[in-house]
Amino acid sequence: MQAASGRDAPDRCPGAVQVHEAADGGLARIRLPGGRLTATRLEVLRAAAAELGDPALELTSRGNVQVRALRPGAEHELGARLSDAGLLPSATHERVRNIVASPLSGVDGRGELDVRPVVREFDERLCATPELAGLPGRFLATIDDGRGDVTPLLGDVGLHGSRLVLAGAPTSASGGAELLVRAALAFLAERAAQGSRAWRLAELEDGPARVAARLGTALTADGTNRANPVEPGLIAQAGGGAAVVVVAPLGLLTGAQSAALAGAAKEMIVTPWRTVVVPAVPMEEADPTVAGLAATGLTADPASPWAGVTACAGRPGCAKALADVRSDARAAVAAAGAREPGAVPVHWVGCERRCGAPRGRHVEMLATPGGYRSAVV
C-alpha cells in the first residue's frame, strides 16, 4: 500500500485484528514473515475467506495475504481461526510483522547465506520486544540474502547479506536479527526525538543518517547489487528437484487455486511480486505440477500476459476508486499477446493514492474522471 506521507496522518494500516472498513466490508491483512506459508495454514485462510468474506485471497506487494469483504463482527471469528493456526503469534505486534525476505533463499543455492533462520529469529525478537508494538503498520524490514532482490524494496531497516541497510542506504554495520531489532528501536527513538508521527524512516529528517548514528555506525557510499524480481517458471533447486514459480493473476487466489497450491507442497513462499514459489518438487513431478496449477489459472509461463500485471482493489471494493480497475485490467490482458522478456510491469490504480504500486520503474494506468492516464513512473 502506498499513500501520502504519514508525518501527520493517523496510522490505520489494517491487520488481522484491527481490520479496515472498506466499501465492500472489513479488510484483514495477515502478515507472513518472509512470505512463508504452510499448506495447512493456507487451507485455514481459504476456508476463512470462503465462509467469512470474499472467497478470493489477495496477495500484497509485501508478500502478505488479505481477506476482504468480511461481514460485521467476522473479524473476531477470523482472529480465533488465525490464532489456532499459529498465524497470529502476537495480538499486540501483529500489524508490525512486516518482514520481506529473499524468496529463493535456501532454495536455489544462490545468495551469501540462507536467511530463513534470520527471519524466524527477527520475528521472534520483534514480538518479544514490547516497545516495538509501537512501530507504524507500514514499517518494513527487508532481509536480503545478498542477491539484491528485496533490498530495492527500500525497507526501513534491512540486511543485505549481513550488512545493515537503512531506507535502502547501506551502512558499515554488520549483524543479524538482533541488529535489526536495535535499528527498529533506534527509529522509534529518533521519531520521538523529532516529535514526529512518521510511518517510514525516510520521512524523518535525515532519518537514515541519524538512526545510523544512534547505532554507532554510519552510511556508506557503496551500493548494493540489484536483481530482477522472481519471475514465473521452473528453477533448479539446490540438492535436486525444482521450484515452481507461478503468477496469481492480479494477485488474487481463488478457492480452487488455493486448494491446488495446498495440494502441491507442504510449504510455499508468497513473494512481494504476487507470485508464489512452490519448492521441493521432484523433477519428475515438475511438469504435472505446472499443469495442475495451470488448470486453475496459475501460470508458470514467463511469457504469460498476466506476468507483471497488478492492480489495486478498485470499484466496488474501494469507495475512493474511480473505476473497476480489475475488470479493465482483465480486458486489457485478454487483448494482449505474449509478454516480452524484461517487459516493464504494469499497475492499474483507481485513484491518486496508488495503493499496491510496485517499487521501481513501471507503467501506471491511473483512473481519472476522464478515463485512464498512462505513464511510465
To 10 degrees, what angle do helices 255-264 and 39-52 make?
170
For residue 246, what are the domain limits?
236-294
Q: Are residues 250 and 343 located together in one domain of the fold?
A: no
Asked if residue 174 has pLDDT above 60, the reply is yes
Q: Are residues 220 and 183 located together in one domain of the fold?
A: yes
Structure confidence at residue 11 (pLDDT):
76
Rounded Cα distance, 64 and 41, in Å: 13
Q: Are residues 331 and 289 located together in one domain of the fold?
A: no
Task: Please return the burial class of 149, using the count of CB atoms within 10 Å of its CB with bins 0-12, 13-18 and 19+.
Answer: buried
Q: Are residues 254 and 353 located together in one domain of the fold?
A: no
Average pLDDT over residues 163-175: 97
Q: Domain count for the chain, please give it.
A: 3
Confidence (pTM): 0.94
In a domain, 59, yes or no: no
pLDDT interval class at 9 (50, 70, 90):
low
Q: Are residues 197 and 121 located together in one domain of the fold?
A: yes
Q: Are residues 203 and 331 located together in one domain of the fold?
A: no
In a domain, 194, yes or no: yes
Rounded Cα distance, 35 and 230, in Å: 13
In a domain, 173, yes or no: yes
In a domain, 19, yes or no: no
Q: Are residues 250 and 212 located together in one domain of the fold?
A: no
Q: Are residues 196 and 99 located together in one domain of the fold?
A: yes
Average pLDDT, the chain: 94
Which residues are CB-contacts of 231 (< 8 A; sequence separation ≥ 6)?
245, 275, 302, 307
Q: Are residues 326 and 284 located together in one domain of the fold?
A: no
In a domain, 142, yes or no: yes
pLDDT tens, residue by residue, 17-65: 889 999 999 999 999 999 999 999 999 999 999 999 999 999 999 999 9
Average pLDDT over residues 295-316: 95
Structure confidence at residue 5 (pLDDT):
47
CATH code assigned at 340: 3.30.413.10
CA distances from 92 to 59, 84, 126, 202, 258 (A): 23, 16, 11, 25, 28
Q: Quick one: CA dihedral 322, 326, 330, 332, positive or negative?
A: positive
In a domain, 286, yes or no: yes
Asked if residue 10 has pLDDT above 80, the reply is no
In a domain, 204, yes or no: yes
